[in-house]
Each structure stands twice: as structure tokens, then as C-alpha cells.
Structure 1
Amino acid sequence: MERSVRLCGLWAMLLCAGAAATGAQPPVTNLSVSVENLCTIIWTWNPPEGASPNCSLRYFSHFGDKQDKKIAPETHRLKEVPLNERICLQVGSQCSTNESEKPSILMEKCISPPEGDPESAVTELQCVWDNLSYMKCSWLPGRNASPDTNYTLYYWHKSLGKILQCENIYREGQHIGCSFDLTKVKDSSFEQHSVQIMVKDDAGKIRPSFNVVPLTSHVRPGPPCITNLFFQAGVLYVQWENPQNFSSRCLSYEVEVNNSQTEMHSHFYVDEDKCQNPEFRRNNIEGTICFMVPGVLPDAFYTVRIRAKTNKLCYEDDKLWSDWSQEMSIGKKPNSTFYITMLLIIPVIVASAIIVLLLYLKRLKIIIFPPIPDPGKIFKEMFGDQNDDTLHWKKYDIYEKQSKEETDSVVLIENLKKASQ
């Protein structure tokens, strides 16, 4: 231990001597790194040894990729960053804030990624802040993770005194997720805050995965609430209340209008209050917004629904739409008696037609597919009957001849008897 201290001291003396020879400031000393909470990395150092008393020390620091440069008098620097990769900070000293001034030799300190197989860590770890009330995080299992892995999510943000564990683990198809309460931070600078996330398993067989979610990103509002619909001069006025916890200037809207007469679905995108109807203004309260839908038919029946999303005036993400609001209708509802009657009559007609077809199916089959005559039967009837008649007449002639012969013989004998007498 004493030998290493002596070596460090000797190294510092050599650096100071080299700096003095070149006219540059000596380097910082005792540069160290540590991790707080889940993803807060803190670098600390001591002022350089042998610095000139007339020097107003400033410290020049940047990360290994030369990004996020900073010159400040503080002897520490922190950064919220996911600990999934190796992160290094380089620090030097100088006597002013002038960037053209050559700083001292840069000292570097790194933090290594967590241990474990990188292919076992979860992937696509994403979190969405729903209606500024609760945060919902989801992920996919790692390629080399066991199917029966029991995952645990830990989270931390500035308003918490300690790291908490998420209890509401769920599965949606291949994704695994967890949701936890996260109400809006009551701080004027809440936009600068983040939620730190870590996902690992209970048995320690997979590599932990980290994420840092800024409170101004991935925010999804709740659905608006339609409060009033009104026809006037061929215009449909729509009024609604903003989702809870949001102001109008931070939201954009999509209004869907369905016309039952033309079966058309119209979509309108709204960024601000665009109507000045006094009918609404009398009841207008903070947190409501109004929109005019032109070219409507007063005799038609309309249904309206609305959804909202955040805009970039207040939040970074402007692609997460809320669920649709409940529909509200206005106008003359179409007469459903005719349609109900047709729905009842059409099945009866179809059933009757099927029964008639079944009853006359054999007759229809004969008409459509008449039987093919048998030639053998026709010839048999033609020649067979004639042979029978010929035999009949032949028998009759023989019988008649026999009768004549017998009659003639009897008559002859009687004549002979009379002549002899």
C-alpha cells in the first residue's frame, strides 16, 4: 500500500514537473468515480498540486467521445445515464474560462458496465408516463435469458427518499411490463427531473438493464371529455374539457365527426381554441376548448369523439395519442323502424323461398335436366308388339280353317244318311 502511494506521489510530481516545464497547469489529483441511486454517476477530484496562487482555477471536463464539454470551478461532476456501457470522463485544470487557453494534462476515470452476459439483458426497455399519474414500463426478454426468469423492476426519482421496487408485473404477449404510481412532481423545475429504471432477475442470472426517462418525454395524456355540442348557422360547435393535469397550451387534439346520412368520417386537427360562440363563452371555464365544424347538415345525425396528445411546447414527445373520448351525438336520429322491419321481413322471405324450392326441387330437376330416352326400349316397343300381333293372327287362321273342315264333314255325313233312306 505504501509503495503504491509513493508511486502515485512520484507520478504526480513528474506530471507537475512536466507541466511546469511546458508552462501549463498541473493536472487534478485523486480523480474517482462512484454511482448513486440507480443511474447517477459522480466524478470527484482534488485541485492540482503546485498550482499558482494567482490562478483562478477552472476545471475543463468532457466525456470520452468529447461530448458535453463543461468548464466550471466545482471539483465534481455528475451525470444521469444508463449504465449499460462503459462511460469515461476526462478532467483537466486551467486558470480561466477561456477555451483557447491550453488546459493541463487530462486525467481520465471510467465506470464499467454491469457484469453478465449482454445477450441475457432485457431489450426494448421503454417507459410511458400516462396522464402524469402512473408510469408504465415494458421490455422483451434477452436472447439468452431463461423463459422462466422472474424479473424485477426498481425505480427512483428525486422526490423519493429511496429506491423502490415495482410490484405490478404483468405480461402482454411477448412483452413483460410493470406499472407504478408517479404523480406530477410539485416542483417548478420538474422538467429537469428524470426517473431512473433498472430491470434484473431475482436469481442474478441475467445482466441488469438500465434506463433514464426524462419527465418531459414519453408522456401520454388521458382522453378528453366532450361537454357540449351545438348547431348554429350550418356550423357544429364542439366543446370539451382537457385531460386531468394538462393545460390547453401543452396539447394538440384530433376531432372525429361521423355523419350517419353520408356515412363519412371527417378528421380535424386542433392546436388551439378556434371558436368565439357566445353560447359557449357564457359557460366557458378554464381547461375547456372549443372547435367549429363547418358545412354540417342540420337534418343529419352526427357522432363526435376526440383524442389528445402532447405538443413540443411542453414535452419532447408528440406522437403518443390518448384513447378516444366517449362519443357524443347530435341531430335527428335516423328512423330505425324501416330497417328493423326489413331485417325481420327479409329472413322470412328467404326462408319461404327455400321451402318452396325444396318442395318443387324434383320438378325443377326434371325441367332443368330432362331424362334421356333409351333407344333400346323404343325399338323393343316398335318390333316386339308387331311380332305378337302376327302370331295372334296366325293362330286365328288355323282355328278358322279347322272349324270350317269340321263343319263341312258333319254336313256331308247327314246328307249321305238321308239319301240312303
Structure 2
Amino acid sequence: MAWPARLCGLWALLLCAALSPGTAATEAQPPVTNLSVSVENLCTITWTWSPPEGVNPNCSLRYLSHFDHKQDKKIAPETHRSKEVPLNEEICLQVASQCSANEKEKPSALMRKCISPPEGDPESAVRELQCIWYNLSYMKCSWLPGRNTRPDTNYTLYYWYKSLGKIHQCENIYREGQHIGCSFKLIKADPTFEQQSIQIMVKDNAGKIRPSFKIVSLISCVKPGPPHIKRLFFKNGALFVQWKNPQNFSSRCLSFEVEVNSSQTELLSPFSVEDDKCQKSESDRNMEDTSCFILPGIIPDTVYTVRVRVKTNKLCFEDNQLWSSWSEEKRIGEETNSTFYITMLLIIPVIVAGAIIVLLLYLKRLKIIIFPPIPDPGKIFKEMFGDQNDDTLHWKKYDIYEKQSKEETDSVVLIENMKKVSQ
């Protein structure tokens, strides 16, 4: 082992100096000191530490840090690390020192520092806290009350993002059934605004429930407003649908669904539209932020009802399946006028029924008019040449009756006159 010393002449001096740092690098370094943790804003956790003591002067210190279960491992020269994370659970960071950025190098002993969740009954915290950025204009957060809370609990929502500078309180608290919510405007301050996150905290005014926290990524919770259909027209046997995109969005950032309902057929499945394939005419080129859809195979004499909805796509946002509301329905086409046929179908049976009733009531008279009775010759001859005894007897009976009535009347008159004379 004497030969390395003899080789350390003028030409080997640099080689020996180069070997010395590598030997020091293989030695384990002392652990970091003064590891501490603090909370900034609402959900920004910052860990800070000091360099280890007794470090080899030839060591270029780097710090290996990761959360429990070795999540988000990082090797960097900074003596601090920050993370936006909801404070609903315990968060722990482990830090070690080493002399290079090589992951295979043996680091120092790990130092661990945790931040505890907020105090209070976990069952009192609000549930199903979710926030949606509507039409890139305002954010609406909603939640359900905790299981161990009073029905009259008054809630307060606080929010913060980088452009604000300080924590704000949401003023527009409202109730929708069992859900409670609050909405606030988001002011787009710079081009990188959409890459930021919103820190949310919900608690009660009296401090009797456990606060709830949420980190909302602005690119993952966007819900556009409904589009507006501008034009419907037929051309070359196809239906053209043209609509104006929601405000604040461009066509390339949106995906569409077009629903077409035909009066002649059943409801057609919504058509997915990823790209605008319509070739706009000169008059349409001035209509910015518009999109178009073509449906071939139009059936004549048919009314079509169309509506459209949109959602964000992966070109600009995360595909979160938050569809907008459907646009207002638009109709196009002419259907064969069936009112006349329906009216006739209703009137004809009524007319026929009335005619039948009239015929039944006047059937006998109609029969007489159409088929008059034929005279009976035998009856005619009988009246002309028949036995007259019956008629003679009839007149005789009439004369006898009239004569008796006259005699009785005269007798009564005579008796009355005699009574008057005797008096």
C-alpha cells in the first residue's frame, strides 16, 4: 500500500485531492437542526430547519425531504419547504442532509416534524365540502352540516389565493334544502391566475365545531355557462347548428354535446363535438367564439328541436365532466299540416251519428215520402157500393135522441112557467 504515496508527486497531486472529497461524501452527515413547522394563510404549511453541525468543509450540502410514506421526495439546497394541503389530518415532513443530489448517497438520520389537525369533534365538521368555478366568474362552495351540530349553527367561509394578499370572508351565505353554501367573485389578476389554487376554510361563528379545509385547483373545478344558439338552417340536405360559446371561453378550450329531437323519430343521442368542422362564410367570420355542428340526412317535412351544452377540455383545463346547463331550445322545419285531417276525423263521425239519429226519428215519414201507400180498391168500392143500413140506423138513432132531448126540455120549461103562474 506504499505505492500510492510514492505516486503523489507533482503529476499525482491533483488526483489525490480529487479522491479526498469522494471519501468524505461517503460518510454519513450529521442531521439537520432546529426543524420547525408553521401555518401561513389558511392551508400553507412551511417547514424550516438549520444546517447540521460539524459538516465536512468539502461537502456541498443538500437536503432530502419527503412526507410520510415517502411521498413527494425532493433533494434541494434550500433549508425550507412549503406545501398547500388541507389541515383536516396530521401532516408530517421528514428531513435529512447529504453532500450531493445523488439519491443513492447515504443521507443523515431523518428528522420528523408534524402539524396536528385542528381541535374539535371530527363529527362536528362540515361534510361534502365542494367548490365550483362558474363561467370563470365566481366560485360557489356548498356543504352539508356536520352530524354532531345544531340545526341553527351559523357558518362562515374564508378563502385565500395568491392574488388576494390576505384572507377574505365570504358574505353571501345561503341555504338550498339541506345544503349550505356561499359564493364569491374571483378576480383574474395575471395570466398565471388559472394555475393557482384557492384555500377554503369553513367553521362556525361560535367556534364550537371543528374547522374544515379544502384546496381547490382552479383548472379542475370549472363549469361553463350555457351556450347560446345563434343560427339553425338547412343546406344540402343537412342541418347546420351554430352557437355562441359561453363568455370568457374560447372554442379550443371547450367540448360540446348537441342534442337533436325530431318530430318524426325518437330522440337522437347527444352528438359529441370536439372540433368545429363547419366552414364559416364571409358573414360568419365576424362572429368570434362561435362553434358549429352539421347533422346530415335531414328528413323532409320534419320539425327539429336542438339544444347544446359544453364542458372544459384537457387543452386548457382538466376534464372534470362538469357540463353546463342546456341552452335554450331552438326549432326549425315545417311539418305537414295535420290539423285539417284531425278536424275531419273528429267532425265526420259526428256528422254521421247525427244523420243516423235524424233518419231514425223521421224514418216513417221518409218512408211515406219515398214510398207512398197504394190505395186499396176493395175499400174504395166498399165505401161506394157497400150496405147503407149502418148509416141509416145511425141517423135514426140521432133523430130519436134529438127528439127526446127536445121533449124533455119543453116539459121542464112548461113546469117552470106553471110554478110562476101559481105564485
Q: TM-score range by the shorter chain?
A: 0.7 to 0.9
State the distance in 1 between where 2:182 and 2:308 align. 28
What letter corresponds to residue 116 of structure 2 in structure 1?
S
State the distance in 1 between where 2:127 and 2:203 align. 12
Q: How does 1:380-391 map to 2 (within 5 A)?
A: none
| Aligned residue pair count | 329
Q: CA deviation at 1:130?
A: 0.7
What TM-score do the two structures reach when normalised by structure 2?
0.72
Is it true that 1:231 corresponds to 2:234 in the alignment?
Answer: yes
User: Which secondary structure state, in structure 2, belongs to the residue aligned with residue 69 of structure 1?
Assistant: strand
CA contact (8 A) 1:221 1:322 kept: yes
Taking structure 1 as reference, are residues 345 and 116 closer, same or farther at Cα in structure 2, changes over 3 Å only? farther
Q: CA deviation at 1:316?
A: 2.2
Is it true that 1:241 corresponds to 2:234 in the alignment?
Answer: no
Match of 2:263 in 1: 260
Is it true that 1:308 corresponds to 2:315 in the alignment?
Answer: no
Aligned partner (choices 212, 217, 221) of residue 214 of structure 1: 217
State the distance in 1 between where 2:123 and 2:347 align. 65
Match of 1:319 in 2: 321
Taking structure 1 as reference, are residues 280 and 334 closer, same or farther at Cα in structure 2, changes over 3 Å only? farther
Is it true that 1:63 corresponds to 2:75 in the alignment?
Answer: no
State the distance in 2 between where 1:105 and 1:162 align. 38
Aligned partner (choices 199, 202, 208) of residue 199 of structure 1: 202
Q: How does 1:260-339 map to 2 (within 5 A)?
A: 260-276=263-279, 279=281, 282-283=284-285, 285-332=287-334, 335=337, 337-338=339-340
State the distance in 2 between where 1:94 and 1:285 align. 61
Q: CA deviation at 1:243?
A: 0.9
Please list every run of 5 or more consecutive structure 2 residues that lacks an aligned counterpart in the other structure.
1-23, 358-423
Taking structure 1 as reference, are residues 342 and 27 closer, same or farther at Cα in structure 2, changes over 3 Å only? farther
What letter corresponds to residue 286 of structure 1 in structure 2?
E
State the distance in 1 between where 2:337 and 2:33 align. 86
Q: Note the alpha carbon deviations across 1:241-283, whole angstroms, 9 max, x for none.
A: 211111222211110111123353442110111222x547743
User: Which secondary structure state, in structure 1, belongs to the residue aligned with residue 100 of structure 2?
Assistant: coil
User: Which secondary structure state, in structure 2, belongs to the residue aligned with residue 104 of structure 1?
Assistant: coil
State the distance in 2 between where 1:218 and 1:327 align. 27
Match of 1:103 in 2: 107
Q: Note the alpha carbon deviations across 1:12-63, whole angstroms, 9 max, x for none.
A: xxxxxxxx9x921111111111001100001111111121222111111000
What letter corresponds to residue 289 of structure 1 in structure 2?
S
CA contact (8 A) 1:227 1:241 kept: yes
State the distance in 2 between where 1:340 and 1:225 align. 36
User: Which secondary structure state, in structure 2, belongs to the residue aligned with residue 264 of structure 1?
Assistant: coil
Taking structure 1 as reference, are residues 293 and 280 closer, same or farther at Cα in structure 2, changes over 3 Å only? farther
Taking structure 1 as reference, are residues 45 and 332 closer, same or farther at Cα in structure 2, changes over 3 Å only? same
Select between 108-117 and 233-242 the one with higher mean Cα deviation: 233-242
Q: How does 1:354-365 map to 2 (within 5 A)?
A: none
**Alignment root-mean-square deviation, CA:** 2.6
Runs of 4+ in 1 over 6 A off after TM superposition: 342-346
Taking structure 1 as reference, are residues 292 and 112 closer, same or farther at Cα in structure 2, changes over 3 Å only? same
State the distance in 2 between where 1:279 and 1:236 align. 16
**Structure with larger Rg:** 2
CA contact (8 A) 2:301 2:336 kept: no
What TM-score do the two structures reach when normalised by structure 1?
0.73
